Amino acid sequence: MTDFRQQFIRFAIENQVLRFGEFVTKAGRKTPYFFNTGLFNDGDSLRQLGQFYAKAILESGLQFDILFGPAYKGIPLVAAIAIALSDSGCNIPFAFNRKEAKDHGEGGDIVGAPLAGRVLIVDDVISAGTSVRESVDIIRANAATPCGVFIALDRQERGLGTLSAVQEVAENYGVPVYSIASLEILIDYLQRQPSMAQNLVEIQRYQREYGIVA
């Protein structure tokens, strides 16, 4: 396993973006952990988050021409990732959408570089896949091609059927989905932390109940 993925888990825990306890998901499931990239809410943590995304994107080897961040969480993400990629010698244009089209000034519902060629969508997590669906529609409406989706954490749990939300997106839109980390990587991290043994027990129980079949 690439070490930066373990570092990302530690980084998320230290910034209380990844929390342990008892939470309820949108699907009504009681989950022993909660992940919210909106809590990376200062300059230094956002800078580091962009660097983790950039490392994972470059490691994937995926070929793309532009980054796209769906409003609203995708907006700071796509800017931070573009800066981090530039620092790594990869200068890539980026764009994001407005929730409501602007009818004055430059107009339209896209801000940033024109959508063209192969577009990589960046978001925090995939729950119901709504923002990905909207992003794919926007990209195709601009005669561009969605080539992949990159998220921070893949929860690797079933949706309504046997597939996870991530797997459903990949199947429905024919695009690969990548992540910096996953539930599997989180479990591997916790197994190396004796002080977090109880968190590990609860998460493994949750995985047995709701996890996807590998």
Task: Provide the annotated active-site residues.
Answer: 102, 104
Q: Is residue 53 reached through a cis peptide bond, with omega within 30 degrees of 0 on the bond before it?
A: no
Beta-strand relationship, 18-24 and 30-35: antiparallel
Print the SS3 string covering 40-62: CCCHHHHHHHHHHHHHHHHHHCC
* Residue length of the chain: 214
Q: At what angle do helices 3-14 and 183-191 cross, to 10 degrees?
A: 80
